[in-house]
Amino acid sequence: MTRILTFLGDSPENCAVAAVAMARRLAEQGRRVLWVTQNNGPLPAVLWQQPVPQVPTALTPGLWIMRLAGTALLSQKLGRGQSPRGPVPAGSAFESDPQ
């Protein structure tokens, strides 16, 4: 069964530490884990002791990490003539220049 765990709290640092600990623990138990962050700061790299790439990267058997770069993802989609929700119809307001 797929599970998505989200760590929320007053301190983003404490949430990140707890998320990394949980990811490592679940991977040690044989679960497949993809740890994802949107944090572009240095904390994720410090916690994993390596840079966190923008593509899923295996650290250990069953454990992958990646960083989502929202701006880059949007730029890729919009650069291909698509809105974040799908293809842009020809002649749409999105496609034309604003008045």
Asked if residue 96 has pLDDT above 60, the reply is no
Q: 2 pLDDT band (50/70/90 cuts)?
A: confident
Asked if residue 55 has pLDDT above 70, the reply is yes
Looking at residue 83, its pLDDT comes to 55
Question: Where in the chain are the domains?
Answer: 32-80
Backbone angles phi, psi at 18, to 5 degrees: -65, -40
Looking at residue 65, its pLDDT comes to 96
pTM of the model: 0.70
Q: 40 pLDDT band (50/70/90 cuts)?
A: confident
Looking at residue 1, its pLDDT comes to 75
